[in-house]
A and B are shown apart, each in its own frame.
Chain A
């Protein structure tokens, strides 16, 4: 994204306190032009407050907000070139769909003929052409959501702020609207800032995700980066299931680092994953469940082999979920694709097994973040 000059949105040391509570704690980030940016985190992590500060509905206690290089920290919402899709949609109940969508254009004194054309286009974009003369309460939740989107997008803002826009919808509709949102974002090319607590939603839609926790950004990166190389246990756990093992560095080579687990197994981790830890340093090594392979005892080969016994196995058709207890007492979750067609005979519950994984599938998380 280096080819873009000033980022659409830049936060510099943003802090928001409500009384004694710190909702957002020294957040700095840059959102490049035309990107689909997601802020992901559990409720109370500060993501909505951050979004509301970008929209102008909350004043930051400290820090600076810039839109396209211009300081807007103290600029009221009606003079900011961003529009919000509210979680509750906040459609004006006394106005028709058409007049809801036209509201912003009318305030901006866009000539009537042009406004009418743009409203029609926006409604077409969200597939609600026939609904122009209805009132919001005559529409379903999903339709109302689209009106809220059209009402924001019709203004062609610099950025669109979406506050859990799909939170109130059922799963099927949510998936459908996720696809539609990504399509619309591509079509109009406006920067989207999307707040959600649903990791799948964030991963499937966004090109950059900021994972937030306790008012801070835990990690910022592409979905793949966050999933494959999380830097904290919180991120590792929030973006899917993960296996974390305590280990101590015993040797550093140019390409791999050797570590010992508590039960004496020797692990090899790609060297670029282990920053700075000297010999004797304690780390937590993580591996995603689908990266682990199971084999009957003695039949495994590879650099990283852990011995354990299967405590649980659930066959789900496409895949099988295993839980393996290692000799050190760690519990590993393993997802095995059902590509061989064999059942649970060889590696069913109670069996001794070897768990193997590749050094390049490992990641290392910071030791101090074990609160997740």
Chain B
């Protein structure tokens, strides 16, 4: 009996072993390595030396706080836009689409069939200064003084919104789809009109989806650099652009690593506060 139980427990450990090994080698060790790198001093030519150079962190913040705040603002706006677009769509797919449901799901994930980069380059072409989209926007007076769509924050935020929309739609769809529609009937039976039923029943039950969707959109959007690079200009650059150029162009590895850790720390703090605000129950259900 005891032997059987021990064997069962060992099987459990054995099942998580590959995952743990993988994460140790490809996540934990590189992470520690980068933490180590962030505290080095030196330059690309003479090499970097371990130095416990902690002041890199305040230095990084004072040098790049503008891009950091811009990243938070762009990611937040894009997340809100995604939610506003995705919720009605997910609601329709879950409750009204009937036999079109699967086709609509396919259409939502269809963009994943081509590369993220290629799609954003395509948007660069669509929004190009000599393109018809700009012509129409100009004639409607939507472009302002610059007469451009590219290299504006509108283009960058729109690009982020477009690219991360499926990450918002899918979790919302899942949480609405598994909801028992009789609950809405029960609410209307108990004197709630459609709006109140939505507010008091549908929305609370969709919260795990809202939580998952906003995180899946906000976190990658915060670190994104492709949209600002291709659809924006240096004055729209986000923290991702800075990290990318510090790593690959300036080759100031300690600075790049420090910025990455600041971004990661900020995200962890933000998620914790967000989860607190939404209630831990939602977090648990979203994770489960």
Task: Give the interface of A toward B (CB within 8 A).
Answer: 55-57, 76-79, 83-84, 86, 88, 90-94, 103-104, 107-108, 151-152, 155
- Chain B contacts for A93, CB-based, 8 A: 183, 205
A-B contact count, CB below 8 Å? 57
Contacts known (A90-B180, A107-B192); A84 close to B205, Cβ less than 8 A? no
Are B188 and A77 in contact, CB atoms less than 8 angstroms apart? Answer: yes
- Chain A contacts for B22, CB-based, 8 A: none
- Chain A contacts for B193, CB-based, 8 A: 76, 78
Are B183 and A78 in contact, CB atoms less than 8 angstroms apart? Answer: no
Are A94 and B204 in contact, CB atoms less than 8 angstroms apart? Answer: yes
B:199-214 near A, CB below 8 Å: 200-201, 204-205
**28 A–B pairs (Cβ distance < 8 Å), ordered by A:** A56-B189, A57-B185, A57-B189, A76-B193, A78-B188, A78-B191, A78-B192, A83-B189, A83-B190, A84-B185, A84-B189, A86-B185, A90-B182, A92-B183, A92-B186, A93-B205, A94-B204, A94-B205, A103-B190, A103-B192, A103-B200, A104-B190, A104-B191, A107-B190, A107-B191, A107-B192, A108-B191, A155-B191
- Chain B contacts for A151, CB-based, 8 A: 190
The binding surface of chain B is classed by DSSP as: helix
- Chain B contacts for A56, CB-based, 8 A: 188-189
Instruction: Among A92, A152, A155, point to the contact of B201 (Cβ < 8 A).
Output: A92
A83 to B191, CA, bound (A): 9
> Taking the nearest CB of chain B, how far is it from the CB of A156, in angstroms?
12
Are B204 and A77 in contact, CB atoms less than 8 angstroms apart? Answer: no
- Chain B contacts for A152, CB-based, 8 A: 189
> Taking the nearest CB of chain B, how far is it from the CB of A365, in angstroms?
38
A90 to B185, CA, bound (A): 8
Which residue of B is nearest A94, CB measured? B204
A76 to B201, CA, bound (A): 18
- Chain B contacts for A86, CB-based, 8 A: 182, 185-186
Additional A-B contacts beyond A78-B190, A92-B186 (11; CB < 8 A): A57-B189, A76-B188, A76-B193, A78-B193, A90-B182, A90-B185, A92-B187, A103-B190, A103-B192, A107-B196, A152-B189
- Chain A contacts for B186, CB-based, 8 A: 84, 86, 90-92
Which residue of A is nearest B205, CB measured? A94
A103 to B204, CA, bound (A): 14
Top 3 closest pairs, chain A to chain B, by CB: A104-B190, A107-B191, A90-B186
A56 to B191, CA, bound (A): 12
A372 to B85, CA, bound (A): 55
- Chain B contacts for A83, CB-based, 8 A: 189-190
Are A88 and B191 in contact, CB atoms less than 8 angstroms apart? Answer: no
A103 to B191, CA, bound (A): 9
A76 to B200, CA, bound (A): 18
A57 to B185, CA, bound (A): 7
> Taking the nearest CB of chain B, how far is it from the CB of A48, in angstroms?
12
> Taking the nearest CB of chain A, how far is it from the CB of B198, in angstroms?
12
> Taking the nearest CB of chain B, how far is it from the CB of A145, in angstroms?
14
- Chain A contacts for B196, CB-based, 8 A: 107
